[in-house]
Chains A and B, each alone.
Chain A
Amino acid sequence: MAYQTHEYIAVGMLFLFAALVATLILIATHLLGPKIKDPAKMRPYECGPEPQGTPRHQFSVHFYIIAIFFILFDIEAVFMYPWAVMFKKFLILQGFVIILDMVVFIGILAVGFIYIWKKKALEWDL
């Protein structure tokens, strides 16, 4: 299937053309634009007011924890998609088992959810 490369040449040309246009515009702006340096223009932009302090401050590690939880429950949702697609057919063929399977799966993850709830991992200010 990868041997029909003539179908993908159009995509390749589009990619090259887009990259070329972007590069050309950047180079043209750099070469043709005015080059007046001014202290006020060189400062970092902060939507108006004066920038205060350094741009680096302590990053809350809680972002990482919430991201991990998101991954876990997102994968759970991903597993529910094929189940939902086959649901109607299986309900007719084999009855209640299809619902029971998903209940067990969600149940195991719900136990984990109760754990992180009780351990206060969902609260932000800790």
Chain B
Amino acid sequence: MLETLSFILPELSLTLTLCTLLLVGLKFKNKFLLYSLVKMGVLATFIFLVWGGGGYLNSVSIFSNSLSIDPLSRFFKILILFPTLFCSWFALNSYELHEKSHIEALLLILGSTLGMFFLVSSSDLLMIYLSLETVSIFSYVLAGIRKKHALSNEASVKYMIFGTFVSGGMLYGLSLLYGMTGSLNLLDIATQLKDYNTHDFSLLFISLLIFGGFAYKISAVPFHMWTPDVYEGAPTPITTFFSTAPKVAGFAVLIRFFYVVFSTQMTEGGVTIWATTDLHWPEIVALLSAITMTVGNFAALSQTNVKRLLAYSTIAHSGYILMGFVVLGVEGLEAVLFYTLVYIFMKLGAFFVTQCVGNKFKNEELSSFKEIGWKSPLLGISMTLFLFALIGLPPTSGFIGKFYLFNAALHKGLLWLVIVAIFNSVVSLYYYAKILKALYLEKSEKEFSFTLNFFDSYVLVFLSVAVMLLGIYVEPFIHWVKASVYFIVG
């Protein structure tokens, strides 16, 4: 029993941070003290993840095969820690969250992170559902944390109703899968399904139902409807958290579920690929990926609220990542992992700039961005970098990420998907450039001055450097991604 504990040290340290933060936050309200606690907890978790060794080097299945500690889960857990750390700081410095809700926001963000940690390592149907619901319920509360604000309440209610409905559908699919195979463990189900007649319509139906549950978390069409309203209504730091961490966790569980259950692993000439034996979900998901990209990019063209615009951009990026997902091969998987890595920093940066502007002008419309590029050069330059990364221009990391995705899709032969993606990237240039135009080419009506305090500047510089670094000095990160693609647990 005690040996198993060494495998879940990261989760234990997060729980300890949560409890300590709760007790300390009852007495002390100092922003810096609370954030230091969060920072120490996240640092301890990070240390356990990177130097914990043990299961993360050779995959281990613990708690009667319900959790799987392997390199893939380690990669995603490290990735999830960044939004936790940054969004905690953003939440403590937002004009939308009062002092009284600071401690609750931090606790809910940490709790959501804990749920995501379990989600990315779950190898059991029950664990997947439980952790997905943990993350979702924390998110519902986080979206509506501004109790007196109508938009925030609307966001929370929309998110909750939509989420519970789709989760119900996913649960139906999961229970049908259990009924068909008699086992909850992903590997056992995969072994059982090998003997199945995969022309069976029910298996396709089940796979699409379960895909729906995960697609809702990653905002893929047709489960993307909640994204603009929830992102616009929730407070900006919470939106930042929503657009980064749950998306990453959703992709992690999507990969683990679909690559283990609905595909069979083969090794051809030293390269591992996955095949689906007549079950046509990759074709359907490829089509959904194309539609997602198109919907996300075209709907963003007419937005005037920057948060809504970034929400549609999130939908579009989910479409790009799904493109790498349907390529059932190691190349595609590496592309997906690398793109989620670069995507987190781009989105954190873009939303943080929106929050800085929002803190100043109390709204996040495009009109508030006018002339900011001249008044605060740091804000302008970093926003330019983040937007260039989101578009996918070299030499930013967004370009490298998109390059890997297109490369993987082309090698598989999905030329039409790559053409759609390139077309959509070009279209996305327009609405990102709208922000750039407001920053540098438009004059605002009133005179104002913009000063950033030291910590905001520090965060901006850090995120800009991260976005550029991942695009220029790619080698160690690709190495890390390649080492993380092992997750089948025996």
- A114–B23 CB distance below 8 A: yes
- A97–B1 CB distance below 8 A: yes
- Could you say which residues of chain B place their CB within 8 Å of the CB of A108? 15, 19
* In the complex, A118 has a CB within 8 A of chain B: yes
Most buried by B among A94, A101, A118: A118
* In the complex, A32 has a CB within 8 A of chain B: no
> Closest B-chain residue to A115, C-beta based?
B22
Least Cβ–Cβ distance between A65 and chain B, in angstroms: 15
A101 to B1 Cα, complex, angstroms: 10
- A118–B26 CB distance below 8 A: yes
- A97–B2 CB distance below 8 A: yes
Interface string of A75-117 (1 = CB under 8 A from B): 0000000000000000000100100010000011001101100
A contact face: mostly helix, strand, loop, or mixed: helix
- Could you say which residues of chain B place their CB within 8 Å of the CB of A97? 1-2
> Closest B-chain residue to A107, C-beta based?
B19
* Chain B interface extent, by class: under 10
Least Cβ–Cβ distance between A72 and chain B, in angstroms: 14
Chain A-chain B contacts (Cβ-Cβ < 8 Å), number: 18
- Could you say which residues of chain A place their CB within 8 Å of the CB of B1? 94, 97, 101
> Closest A-chain residue to B103, C-beta based?
A115
A80 to B52 Cα, complex, angstroms: 31
- B2–A111 CB distance below 8 A: no
- Could you say which residues of chain A place their CB within 8 Å of the CB of B22? 111-112, 114-115
8 Å CB contact of A114 from B2, B15, B26: B26
- Could you say which residues of chain B place their CB within 8 Å of the CB of A119? 26
A108 to B22 Cα, complex, angstroms: 11
- Could you say which residues of chain B place their CB within 8 Å of the CB of A111? 19, 22-23
- Could you say which residues of chain B place their CB within 8 Å of the CB of A114? 22-23, 26
Least Cβ–Cβ distance between B103 and chain A, in angstroms: 9
- Could you say which residues of chain B place their CB within 8 Å of the CB of A118? 26
Q: Which B residues from 23 to 57 make CB contacts under 8 A with A? A: 23, 26
Least Cβ–Cβ distance between B367 and chain A, in angstroms: 40
Most buried by B among A97, A108, A112, A115: A115
A108 to B2 Cα, complex, angstroms: 19
Least Cβ–Cβ distance between A91 and chain B, in angstroms: 13
- Could you say which residues of chain A place their CB within 8 Å of the CB of B19? 107-108, 111
Q: Which B residues from 1 to 23 make CB contacts under 8 A with A? A: 1-2, 15, 19, 22-23
A118 to B23 Cα, complex, angstroms: 10
8 Å CB contact of B26 from A94, A101, A107, A115: A115
> Closest A-chain residue to B20, C-beta based?
A111
Least Cβ–Cβ distance between A103 and chain B, in angstroms: 13
Interface string of B219-261 (1 = CB under 8 A from A): 0000000000000000000000000000000000000000000
Least Cβ–Cβ distance between A57 and chain B, in angstroms: 25
- Could you say which residues of chain A place their CB within 8 Å of the CB of B15? 108
- Could you say which residues of chain B place their CB within 8 Å of the CB of A101? 1
Least Cβ–Cβ distance between B75 and chain A, in angstroms: 28
A111 to B21 Cα, complex, angstroms: 10
Q: Which A residues from 36 to 60 make CB contacts under 8 A with B? A: none
- Could you say which residues of chain A place their CB within 8 Å of the CB of B23? 111, 114
Q: Which B residues from 60 to 85 make CB contacts under 8 A with A? A: none
- Could you say which residues of chain B place their CB within 8 Å of the CB of A94? 1
- Could you say which residues of chain B place their CB within 8 Å of the CB of A107? 19
- Could you say which residues of chain A place their CB within 8 Å of the CB of B2? 97
> Closest B-chain residue to A110, C-beta based?
B19
A118 to B134 Cα, complex, angstroms: 25
Least Cβ–Cβ distance between B24 and chain A, in angstroms: 11
A119 to B22 Cα, complex, angstroms: 11
A112 to B22 Cα, complex, angstroms: 8
A11 to B7 Cα, complex, angstroms: 51
A71 to B2 Cα, complex, angstroms: 30
Least Cβ–Cβ distance between B268 and chain A, in angstroms: 47
A102 to B490 Cα, complex, angstroms: 31
- Could you say which residues of chain B place their CB within 8 Å of the CB of A112? 22
Most buried by B among A101, A111, A119: A111
Least Cβ–Cβ distance between A43 and chain B, in angstroms: 42
Known contacts A97-B1, A114-B26; 14 additional CB pairs below 8 A are A94-B1, A97-B2, A107-B19, A108-B19, A111-B19, A111-B22, A111-B23, A112-B22, A114-B22, A114-B23, A115-B22, A115-B26, A118-B26, A119-B26
- Top 5 closest pairs, chain A to chain B, by CB: A111-B19, A118-B26, A115-B22, A111-B22, A97-B1
13 A-B contacts (beta carbon < 8 Å)? A94-B1, A97-B1, A97-B2, A101-B1, A107-B19, A108-B15, A111-B19, A111-B22, A111-B23, A114-B26, A115-B22, A115-B26, A119-B26
